Structure 1
Amino acid sequence: MEHSGALSRVDVLEEYDMKQLHDNGNGGRPSRKSSPNCTLLPILEAEDLDGEIKIFYPRLYFSSRGPLIITRTFVVAFLTTLIPSFLGRSPDRAASKKLHPTAYLDGLRGVAAFIVFIHHFIIDWYPMLCRGYASSEPGHSRYFLQLPLIRVVYSGRGMVSVFFVISGYVLSYKAIRLMRARQYSILLDSLASSIFRRGMRLFIPIAVSTFISMLFCRWGWYSKDPMGRNTIPSRRGDFWYQFKDWCGHVIRISNPLVDVNGRDLYAPPYDGHLWTIPIEYRGSIIVFLTLLCVAKLRPWLRLYVLAGMVFYSIWDSHWEVFLFLSGTLFCDIHFLASTLSFRDPHRQIVKEAVLIIISLFAVHLLCFPDEQSITTPGYRTMISLTPRYSSDQGLTQRFWIAIGAFILVGAMNFSTMLQRPFTTPLAQYLGRISFALYVVHGPILYTLGMQMLMPAVREWNGGVGWANYGLRALGAWVVNLAVCVLVADVFWREVDARSVVFTGWVAQKCWDREKTRG
């Protein structure tokens, strides 16, 4: 996610309302209703398999047919799990009829996760697309897809920055709503719950996905890409040694005491794309602590303080903190803007036109090339304007795509026209599986993707033409996309969503309830 984030669904990642999770009169199951006041991660309305077994078990215990029926029940449940949610019964279809006010952020995150998948696929097949247009000899930098704006369809690093802004926004939504309602007691409970559950919410799915990745490594399913760009694990001794190695990396990626920043990125060997997850966790904690700090400030003063923290972060080259706090700032502005009205239709049209132009400039920044930007027309001028504290080649790109993500989400915050494409059913579906798609696409590309790429590379080296290679690439893209979406759909329902319920259950069991006055 590269990172997803993402996070959230790189959470990206939303927080559940504890009352909805546990006080809904449904046996502790998540509520089937979607609250317009909270940004929630929808959970599959699946059958409770444990409940079915408990019902069957007493009657079948002394029956000779019991094992057969139980086996059949498990087989049917397993096959049902493999049915994509968009083909089967889904609770989100009913909930999606009425979208919450920030539903466009879910869609934007989904599209961003899809672009990250394209990025990681396409740079394996066409490494030259990492370069900017006209940055080098014509044979490697004069392709249509390298043009600014056009290259946004595979600008994965820019999408990671968008993830982080969305995370800051979503994680702040409920807290800022409570601040503006002056419900400080509920706000404290909400922040305490969010901080308590955040680590589990992020790292349980990561532990599952990297454990599967560890098994792939043991089975010898991983293959290196021709350019050696991908981070894949090495096979280490016997299974027990490999397991201990995996445990060590899971502990490292989830350790809240390890210094995490945007300058020294840690790529976990069991999926290098998950470098974003420690940053996601750190950024989340910074958001929660910031919200606690400004909770009782006057609204106008809170805006000034948040704006000051945002710009100090980018001035001090902490591009990741800048992105998360930008989301918090935009969320506060969203509630402020909701109290204002613009009734003049002519001014509304002008406003939308200006915001569209601004968003195009933001997309241009998000398309900052991964390689040879210093010789790319347009971007080399931007490099000369980069502050000295971000003059490192990697930080230069991070600086400008962070600015681009800031401008894009800021423009969308005020434009219903820009929001509209991201509230479509397709975008909303991608938003629901976005975190899962980000998590699973790496191992799939390292296995299935490489099995399709390597024969094509050998044929290319043998003299096959561009057309044949391009057809192979297109076919591989379709196959890998289909597999990634199907696996992400299952992972979302069976791992991601269940981890949300589990963290809510743990919090409910651990939480000290207030005593009611008699």
Structure 2
Amino acid sequence: MVTFHPEFHHTIIPEPDPELTISSKVSLKLRTLRTKPSTHPSQDYLLGLRGLLTIQAFIYTFLLVFTPTAVKDSHNSSGPGTQLFLRKTLSVLLWNASLIYSFIIVLSARCISIPFISSPTSLVVASSVFRRSVRLLIPTFVSSLLVVIFFSGGREHIHEFKTLTSNHSIETPYTLPGFVGFFNAIFNLFWVPRDFASQAGSRAFPGQMLWIVTLLYSQSWTVFMSMVIIPYTRPVWRVKAWIFFILTAWWVQSWAWFSITGLLLADVKMNMDFQFKSLKGLRVAKRWRVPSWILYGVCVAVGLMMQFFWVAWKPELADGELRIHADLYGSAGLNEDPDLRQPQARMDNYFVIVGVIGLLETSDFLQFILSSAPLLYLGRRSFAWFLTQSIIIYSVGIKLFLHLHKNGASETEAIIACLLVCVLTVISTAEVFYRLVEIPSQRFAKVAWEWMRV
């Protein structure tokens, strides 16, 4: 810019822009990971939380295969001292499968209700119901097809690996009997309302965790049918109704007490100024208020104490809570014989989740951290990671371990090499899956919905 002074008439040359520091360059590079703008930017931290859960789910899947003693609730209860130490400490919080999938259920319910709460019209809820089915079905179908392709040469390497490492915590994927069996398995993933982990589609998938899709899909209907009352009822009555619903669902041991909790959190956050009211604290007397973060922190502490107590000292008491619920599908009494093969909604997980999300919903700092570009990047690809990571670990990872072991590598060296290869392979595979399968499925769902409306 050239500036003329009325007396001196000289030219002022602007200073050059300062050169970017290395940290600034890295920051700008990370920002480019935002592949598309968010539909609801104020809720970005929830997407970042999905990214964090994606990392935890990968760690759990990898460790269960290669170091099962370090994983909470695995069938390998004895092993190296380091792994036992990790099992009784970090595994409870960082790679706890029960806590991870319980978090996913609550977070899903919290997120799928956002469009309708933001714009409560019949068109929005109908669009959400229709598109969710398509967006879950197509990626699940393609990933199951990839399992058939990747394991078409057989599953003997998994048997060999389990025998070599004495791993009792993983199962060899079930072989589906032909095309009809494959079709029925995929169909049932979106049909059965119970015994999720026993269905063929989940058992045929490496890691046997595909039942999460079934649970998410079935619970989404609970959320959709419940959230339509929001525009037509008073907030105070909705809160009472949600709490009554949660207590009732807890009594009959239905996953609805997790999903309705997610809906309640979305409702109070978006409609009832939850963050501002929480910052005021909880009134305990006329002049005294307890900061809300203490209440949420106590919830987290209670849940973690229960889990640490059960995993480190009294594991035989871990399933005691499951026996005090009503036996929904059996006798008229209590559930004296819970099916531990199935995923269970547990009180300890519930305390941790409610406490963590309570802290997150009321803390600008935590929301800022979870809104970082790397976590948003992973959050958008969380479903692609979930559908591809087990395939890579159970095929590429296990075969690489056996190859290195036969060539004289130590177990530690082989595990480190498998970790590096699996991380790089999953990153690239999930990215391809996200761009070639998940994004087109989302676009197809929108196009199909618009076509139905014409």
Q: Which has the larger radius of gyration?
A: 2
Give the structure 1 partner of residue 284 of structure 2: none
SS at match of 1:143: helix
Give the structure 1 partner of residue 140 of structure 2: 206
Relative distance call for 1:428 and 1:437 in structure 2 (3 A) is: same
Q: 1:249 aligns with which of 164, 168, 185?
A: 185
Give the structure 1 partner of residue 261 of structure 2: 326
Q: Tell me the distance in 2 between the aligned counterparts of 1:144 and 1:406.
A: 27
- AA aligned to 2:375 is A
Aligned CA RMSD, in angstroms, stands at 3.7
Relative distance call for 1:128 and 1:393 in structure 2 (3 A) is: farther
- Deviation per residue, 1:384-443 (Å, 9 max, x gap): 555522663737964132443333323322233433432222211110111100011111
Q: 2:399 aligns with which of 428, 442, 451?
A: 451
Relative distance call for 1:110 and 1:378 in structure 2 (3 A) is: farther
SS at match of 2:173: coil
Give the structure 1 partner of residue 45 of structure 2: 104
Q: CA deviation at 1:358?
A: 4.0
8 Å contact from structure 1 (residues 456, 472) kept in 2: yes
Give the structure 2 partner of residue 301 of structure 1: 237
Q: 1:165 aligns with which of 106, 116, 139?
A: 106
8 Å contact from structure 1 (residues 168, 287) kept in 2: yes
Q: Tell me the distance in 2 between the aligned counterparts of 1:396 and 1:117.
A: 18
Relative distance call for 1:474 and 1:376 in structure 2 (3 A) is: same
Relative distance call for 1:171 and 1:136 in structure 2 (3 A) is: closer
Relative distance call for 1:118 and 1:509 in structure 2 (3 A) is: same
Q: Tell me the distance in 2 between the aligned counterparts of 1:109 and 1:149.
A: 20
Relative distance call for 1:171 and 1:142 in structure 2 (3 A) is: closer
Aligned residues: 398
SS at match of 2:119: helix
Give the structure 2 partner of residue 192 of structure 1: 126
Q: Percent identity?
A: 19
Relative distance call for 1:297 and 1:158 in structure 2 (3 A) is: same
SS at match of 1:218: coil
8 Å contact from structure 2 (residues 299, 352) kept in 1: no
SS at match of 1:92: coil
Matched, 1:477 2:419: yes
- AA aligned to 2:250 is I
Q: CA deviation at 1:190?
A: 1.1
Give the structure 1 partner of residue 359 of structure 2: 411
Matched, 1:489 2:423: no
Structure 1 gaps, min length 5: 1-85, 180-186, 237-241, 513-518
Higher relative contact order (CA 8 A, sep 6+): 1
- Deviation per residue, 1:456-487 (Å, 9 max, x gap): 6668xx9x8xxx32232122112101111111
Give the structure 1 partner of residue 447 of structure 2: 505
Relative distance call for 1:342 and 1:380 in structure 2 (3 A) is: same
Give the structure 2 partner of residue 51 of structure 1: none
- Deviation per residue, 1:109-134 (Å, 9 max, x gap): 1111221111111111112223579x
Relative distance call for 1:261 and 1:338 in structure 2 (3 A) is: same
Relative distance call for 1:323 and 1:261 in structure 2 (3 A) is: farther
8 Å contact from structure 1 (residues 217, 233) kept in 2: no
SS at match of 1:260: coil
- AA aligned to 1:306 is W
Relative distance call for 1:380 and 1:333 in structure 2 (3 A) is: farther
Give the structure 2 partner of residue 174 of structure 1: 115
8 Å contact from structure 1 (residues 149, 363) kept in 2: no
Give the structure 1 partner of residue 331 of structure 2: none
SS at match of 1:95: coil
Structure 2 gaps, min length 5: 1-27, 282-287, 326-334
Q: CA deviation at 1:275?
A: 1.1
* TM-score, length-scaled by structure 2: 0.76
Q: Tell me the distance in 1 between the aligned counterparts of 2:269 and 2:41.
A: 13
